[in-house]
Structure 1
Amino acid sequence: MGDIGLEEYQLRVNQVLSQVDKIEQRVIEIDQFYVNNSKKLANTPRGGSASKEKDKDKERLVANGKKQDVTSKETIATKRMQELIRQFGTILNQISKHKFAWPFMDPVDVKGLGLNDYYEIIEKPMDFGTIKKKMDAKDGSGYKHVREIYSDVRLVFKNAMKYNDETNKFHVMAKTLLEKFEDKWRQFLPKVIEEERRYDDEEVEVQLNVQLAQEAAYAKMARDISNELFEADMHLEELRETLVQRCRKMSTEEKRQLGTALTRLSTDDLSRALEIVAQSNPGFIVNAEEVDLDIDAQSESTLWRLKFFVKDALQAQGKPLASTAADNNNNNEKCENNNNNVNNNSKRKREICDALAKTTKKKAKKLGS
C-alpha cells in the first residue's frame, strides 16, 4: 500500500464503501427477482390466449437471445390456426348454401326495410358477408382464432331470432340454420381443443425457457458478487493493516486497560479476540483449556487490532470502553475513526453475504422442487 496519509486513507475507505453500496443494490435485485418469480408462477393462469405476463416473458426471452425460437414457434402456431380457420370456412360455405341462408348473407337493410328500432334491439349487427370479409383480411385485422368466427356466426342467427318473434319466418330460418351449424361445430370442436392444448404447452415451454435464461443470468451475477466481495474484503484488510502500522505506540496504561477490557468480553467475542492474536502468533493455541495471553509480548499491530475489536464488541453489548487521557491523542482518534469505517463496512459486507446466501438458498430450493 505504501506510505499514505490519513486523508488518502479515508478516500480509499470511502471508495470501498461505494463499491459495497453497488454490490448491495445488486444483491437486492437478485433477491427481488426470485421473490417476483415465485409470485408470478403461483398467480399466472394457463389459458388459450396469451396473457400480459406471457407477452412480457416473450420479450424477456427475445432479450436473452432466443428471438429465433420464439418467432419460429409463433409462426408455426399461427399457420396451424390459419389452417383451422380455412377448414372452418368449409363449414361456413355449407351453411351459406342452404336455402334458408339468403337473408343472412348481407347486412340488414335497416333503412330500406324501415326497421327504426333495429339498433335499439340489436347491439352488434352481423352477417355472413362481413364474416367472410374479415376471414380474408390480409392487413392483420382478420380473425386470430377460430372461436372468434364461431361466435360471430352464432351472432348472425341470434340477432335474427332476437329481433323477430318465434312465428316470424326469419326467426324460424335462423333457428334451423343455428341447429345445423351447432351440429357441425360439435364435430369440428375436437380439432380446436387439440390446437389450444398444443398452444398452451408451447406457451409453458416459452415461459420455462425465459425462467431458465433469467436464472442463469442471476446465478452468474451472484458468482460475480461473491468474487467482488472477496476482493473488497482483501482491500479492507490491506487498509486496516496500513492503518495499524501508522498508529502510535500503545502506552502501558492503554495495555492495562486493554487487558481489563478483554475480561469483559462475552465467550464468543473472547474467542474471536484470541483468533486475532493467533494471526500474528502461529504458535498461539486458541482452543487450549487455559490461555496465557501476555499483552506486553504482542506486536503493536496486534494490540491495535485487539483494541479496535474490543471497542466494537463492548459497544455492541452496551458496555463503554474505559478511556484515558492518552486516548484523546488526535492521531489515535483519527486511526480509530477510520477503523470504525472499515468495521462498519465489514458489517455491511457480512449482511450482504447473508442476503446472498439467502438468495442462493432460495434458488437451490426452487431448482430442487
Structure 2
Amino acid sequence: MRQMEDGLIPYMGTVNSGSDVEAFEHNLDQILVKVNELEKRVNEVEQIYHDQSKKQPSTSKGSTLGKDERQVNNLMKLQQDNCSREAAAAKRMQQLISQFGDIVRQITQHKWARPFMQPVDAKALGLHDYHKVIEKPMDFSTIKKQMEAADGTAYKNVREICADVRLVFKNAMKYNDEKSDIHVMAKTLLRKFEEKWLHLYPEVTKEEKRLEQEEAEAQLDMQLAKEAANARMAREISSELYEVDMHLEDLRAMVISKCRRISTDEKRKIAAALDKLPVEDVDKALEIVAQYDPSFQSKGDLVDLDLDAQSEPVLWKLKIFVKGALEVQGKSSAVVDVDSNHDRSYNNNGGNNNNSNKKRKKEICNAIAKTAKKRSLKPSS
C-alpha cells in the first residue's frame, strides 16, 4: 500500500488549516478502521491455508467464511448431499449385516455349536489359566447382543462381525488340545463358516470400494467448493484494499494541493538528499516523477532530473519521500536536512487518540526503503 508521512502535513498557507486538518484526520481514522478490518480478514484467510497445508500440502481447504451467498449455499447443499450419501451407505451396510446374520444363524444351529453359544465360565469349569491364555473371550450370545444393540455399540460393518465369529473358534482351538473334541468341533465349524463367508465376501468388497470412492468424491467436491469460497473472499479483500489505497492517494493529493510552494533552497536540499540515497530509494523517487510525467526517462545509468520543471505535487511528494527514507535509515540528522525553517509538523489537537491508531498511522505514512548499491543521479539545482 502506498505510504504517507505521519507528522509531515505541510504548512497550509492562508487556507482554513483547522478544518482541513480535522477533515484529513477524520478520513484517515476511517481508513484505519477499514485497514484493521481487512487485516483481520487477511489473517483469517492466511490461517485457513496454513491449517490446510499441514493436513494436505498439495491442496488448500478453508472454512465456509465469505460473503457470496451462492458459494455458501453450494457448501450447504454439499453437506446435505453428504448426509444423504452416508445414510444410504449405512442402509446398504445394514442389508449386508442382515445377510451375514443368516450365516451366523446357520452356524449356531449346527449340532456342535452349543459349547460356543455362551461365555466360557472359567471358574465353574476350573479353567484357572483361561483368562491368561485367552486375551479376548468371545461367544455367539455376545455377538448377537452387539448385532442387535441400539445404543451406538452395534457393529458398523460386516468385517467386525466376521472377526468376532472367527475369534470364537480360534480361542477354542488355542486353549484346547488339537485332539480334544472342542478343538475339533471349533475347527470344523470355522471351516464351514469360511465356506459360507466366501459367498458374501464379493458383495462386501464391492460395497467397501463403492463407499471409498463416494467418500473421495465427496471430499474433493467439498474441498473445491471451499477453495472457491476462499478465492472469492481473497478477491473481495484485494478489491477493498485497492479502494483504501485509492482513498489514501486522494487524501495525499488533497493535502499537497493546499501546500505552499517549495522554495529554491528546499529544491537544493531535495536534490542533495536524493544524491545520498541508495539505488532502491532513488528508483522510487524517480517513479514518483514518472507518475506525473510519462515522458520522463527514469531508467538508465545517468538520469537528468530538473526539479525546477516539476509541479508542486511532485516536489512535495519528493520532499516527503526523501525525509521518510532518511528517517528509516537513521540518517536524517547525519546526512541532509530536507526541512526548511518554514515547515511545521502537524499537531493533533485531539491528543487523546488511541495509541495504536497513532502507531498505525505512522506505519501507513512512513516510506520504507532498504540500503543497496548507489546509482548516479544528476539533479538540476
One-letter identity of the residue aligned with 1:323? D
**In structure 2, what is the Cα distance between the partners aligned to 1:342 and 1:39?**
33
* AA in 2 matched with 1:93: R
Choose 73-82 or 62-71, whichever is displaced more: 62-71
- Cα deviation code 1:268-313 (max 9, x no counterpart): 654543443354457x533698876443444433211111123344
Say yes or no: does 1:216 pair with 2:231.
no
Q: Of 86, 93, 98, which aligns to 1:81?
A: 93
Q: Identify which of 22, 42, 64 aligns with 2:75.
A: 64
| Counterparts in 2 of 1:331 and 1:42: CA distance versus 1, 3 Å | closer
State how 1:189-204 maps to structure 2 within 5 Å: 189-204=201-216
The 1:338/1:63 distance shift into structure 2, 3 A limit, reads closer
How many angstroms apart in 1 are the aligned matches of 2:338 and 2:329? 21
Could you tell me how far apart the structure 1 residues matched to 2:197 and 2:297 are?
Answer: 84
Structure-1 separation of matches of 2:329 and 2:368: 16
State yes or no: 1:166 paired with 2:178. yes
Name stretches of at least 5 consecutive residues in structure 1 with no aligned partner.
Answer: 45-53, 349-369
Q: In 2 relative to 1, CA 198–34 (structure 1 residues): closer, same or farther, beyond 3 Å?
A: same
Over 3 Å counting, the alpha-carbon distance change for 1:245 and 1:331 in structure 2 is farther
- The yes-or-no answer on 1:33 pairing with 2:48 is yes
Of 246, 267, 270 in structure 2, the residue corresponding to residue 255 of structure 1 is 267
Query: Structure 1 residue aligned with 2:297, among 275, 280, 286?
Result: 286
Q: 2:317 aligned with 1:305, yes or no? A: yes
Distance 1:250 1:43, change over 3 A: closer
User: How far 1:209 sits from its partner (Å)?
Assistant: 1.7
Q: Counterparts in 2 of 1:103-118, with a 5 A limit? A: 103-118=115-130
Q: How high is the TM-score relative to the length of structure 2?
A: 0.72
* Residues 43/159 of structure 1: CA separation in 2 closer, same or farther (3 Å cut): farther
Greater displacement, 238-247 / 192-201 = 238-247
Distance (Å, rounded) in 1 between the aligned partners of 2:303 and 2:360: 31
Q: C-alpha distance in 1, partners of 2:116/2:241? A: 74
Please tell me the residue identity of whatever aligns with 2:55: K
CA distance in 1, matches of 2:192, 2:168: 14
* TM-score after normalising by structure 1: 0.75
Superposed CA RMSD:
3.8
Correspondences of 1:306-321 after superposition (within 5 Å): 306-314=318-326, 320=332
1:151 counterpart (153, 163, 168):
163
Question: SS of 2:313's equivalent?
Answer: helix
Pair 43,100 (structure 1): closer, same or farther in 2 beyond 3 Å: farther
Matched, 1:19 2:34: yes
In 2 relative to 1, CA 226–34 (structure 1 residues): closer, same or farther, beyond 3 Å? same
| Aligned counterpart, 2:336 | 322
The code of the aligned residue for 2:75 comes to N
Separation in 2, partners of 1:38, 1:338:
31
Identity score, percent: 51
| Equivalent residues in 2 for 1:344-363, closer than 5 Å | 344=366
**Post-superposition CA distance 1:9-39 (Å, at most 9, x none):** 3454354344334433433433443344344
Alpha-carbon displacement from aligned partner over 1:58-82 (angstroms, at most 9, x marks no partner):
xxx9993023201110011101111
Say how many residue pairs are matched. 330
Contact 2:74 2:225 (8 Å CA) reproduced:
no
SS at match of 2:340: helix
Q: Relative contact order (alpha carbons < 8 A, sep ≥ 6): 1 or 2 greater?
A: 2
Q: Residue 154 of structure 2 corresponds to which residue in structure 1? A: 142
Q: C-alpha displacement at 1:180, in angstroms?
A: 2.0
Which residue identity is paired with 1:179?
A: R
2:273–2:338 CA contact under 8 A, matched in 1: no
Deviations 1:241-288 (A, max 9, x none): 233234444332112111233344556654543443354457x53369
Q: Structure 1 residues 224, 190: closer, same or farther in 2, change over 3 A?
A: same
SS of residue in 2 equivalent to 1:99:
coil
| Inter-CA distance 347–318: structure 2 relative to 1 (3 Å threshold) | closer
Q: Does the CA contact (< 8 Å) of 1:104 and 1:156 recur in 2? A: yes
Q: CA deviation at 1:227?
A: 0.8
Pairing 1:228–2:240 present: yes
Are 1:179 and 2:191 counterparts? Answer: yes
Cα contact 1:131–1:152 (8 A) shared by 2: yes
Q: Secondary structure at the match of 1:143?
A: coil
Give the secondary-structure state (helix, strand or coil) at the position aligned to 1:140. coil
Contact 1:240/1:342, CA 8 A, preserved across alignment: no
In proportion to residue count, which structure has more helix? 1
Aligned mates of 2:288, 2:33 — CA distance in 1:
27
Q: 2:219 corresponds to which letter in structure 1?
A: Q
Distance change (3 Å), C-alpha of 1:319 and 1:100: same
Q: Tell me the amino acid that sits aligned with residue 64 of structure 1.
A: L
1:115 Cα deviation after fit: 3.6
User: 1: distance between equivalents of 2:282 and 2:58?
Assistant: 50
